[in-house]
Each structure stands twice: as C-alpha cells, then as structure tokens.
Amino acid sequence: MKSPKWIPLANSHPLIETFYHEVSKKFEELDIPLTEKEYQTLVTAYEVARMLFWDNVRDDGQFYFEHLSQTAHIVLYDFPNPTPDKVIIALLHDIIEDSKITYEMLKIIFWEKIAKKVKGISKPAIENYIEDLPEDLLEIYYQTSNDDELTAWQKMQCRMVKVKLKMLRNEEYFEHLPMLEDEELDVKFADRIHNLRTLCSYPWEKIIRKLQETLKYFLPLAEQRNPIAYKMLCVEVAKIQEYLQRLKMSNFQNKVKEILENTG
C-alpha cells in the first residue's frame, strides 16, 4: 500500500511537492503509508506555516520557516518512531506563540487533536503573569503600560518588567515539560536542538541563558524519555561550550592587547 498520489494544488508552492514526496517516501520506508486525511493535513500544515512565516526573519538571521521545517526534519529523520502527527505539530509548533492564529482557529483547520498538542507546547502570553510580579515591579508595570510617551528611564524599567515576566513564564513552562506526551515532547526536543544549532549568532547573554535552560530542563528529561534526543542535545551543548570558551579566550586576548597598547 502506498501513500496517496501528489495532486498539485492551485497556486501551490513548488517546495510543498518536494516536502510531500520526501515525507511520503520516509513513511513508506517505515511501512506506514499516509492516509488521505494525513496527506491533506501535512500539505495544509506546510502551506500554512510557509505562508505565515516565509518572510519572517529570526534574531539569528535565519528565515523563520527554515526553523519550522528543520524542526520537522529532525522529528522525521533523526528521532525514532516518527508519525505524521509529529511532523504536523513540528511545522506548527510556534504558530500560536508567534502569529495571529489562535487555538480556536487551529481547531477549525486541523481538528482538536492537533490543536491541543500545539497549544500544549506553546508558551503562554507573558501578560498571564502580571499579578505574579513583585509589588515594586507591579507598580512600575501599571505606571508605564499605557503611557505612549515614556522617558528613557521608564523605558528601561519597562524592559526590566518584561524580562521578569518572561522569567516567570519560562520557569513555569519548563517545569511542566515532563507532563507532556512523548509526541509533544519529541517536537520540543527537536525545537531545542535546532535552536542550539543557530545559537552562536545571538548575544552571549542569551547563549548562556539557553545553555542553562538546556542543562537544567532538557537534558535530564531527554535522558529519560528520548535517548537519541539526549545524545543530539549533548553534542550541541558541547559545541556551544567550546564556542564560549573560544569567545572567552578571544576577549581575554583582546583585553591584554588593549592594555599593552595603552601602556606603550
């Protein structure tokens, strides 16, 4: 039994056909031919992600859609037991966080099963954590949140509040990772692996933060739930640690050079 034959859609992008042939070939090799419903859902997920994120560029300079497709690629080719649903969730994993598509809209397009899993791996809005702010930061938030003309000092305070809100959100989010089902967790592992691969183009503060998150939350969980993901994460962590060491040495050498030049 084979997967459904590719039927070109009106105005469909050429990449979609390439994607479909790669995915269907992989599942046929695993003796898991796609059903008609899976075929339609995969193609729709790819097209929705492409249309929403095609022109978007991430902070690392990479096109956003490349991150989504590479996350799906890791799930499909590198992890054990790939399923069509995992590939679909990987393509859509940032859609609630980073687009105007809501959970309710996802349910209409992809049915409740897919929508629930995408929502399950999406970070909540930071506004949900406003009431958890310390009293002094809460006061700053209400003083500055609705003011369009802020002073430089107030803008700095706003940034400080947003950083704290993200810390509160991320801490709760990462703590709930063990409660995810394996299908959802595999997508999170793939997402983290690809993020680590592109991390060196970020400021060193973000590199350190992502590395600490990986060591604290992802590695212990991957060791228990997905040994392949654990090995891949270890490889990427080692590369980043080596990069940071080289960066530290380079900064030290530049500082010594500066001191020597200033002292004549």
Q: How confident is the model at residue 4 (pLDDT cuts 50, 70, 90)?
A: low
Residues 118-140 have pLDDT tens digits of: 999 999 988 888 888 888 877 77
pLDDT of residue 5: 58
pLDDT of residue 39: 87
Residues 207-257 have pLDDT tens digits of: 899 999 999 999 999 999 999 999 999 999 999 999 888 887 776 566 656
Decide if 40 contacts 58 (C-beta within 8 A): no
Mean pLDDT score of the chain: 86
Residues 64-78 have pLDDT tens digits of: 999 999 999 999 999
Rg of the chain over Cα atoms, rounded to whole angstroms, equals 22
pTM metric for this prediction: 0.86
pLDDT of residue 147: 60
SS3 134: coil
Residue spans of the domains in the chain: they are 14-121+180-262, 126-179
d(CA 219, CA 189): 9
Q: What's the fold here for domain 14-121+180-262?
A: Hypothetical protein af1432 (1.10.3210)
d(CA 27, CA 19): 13
Q: Measured over all CA atoms, what is the biggest interatomic distance in the chain, rounded to whole angstroms?
A: 78
Res 63 pLDDT > 80: yes
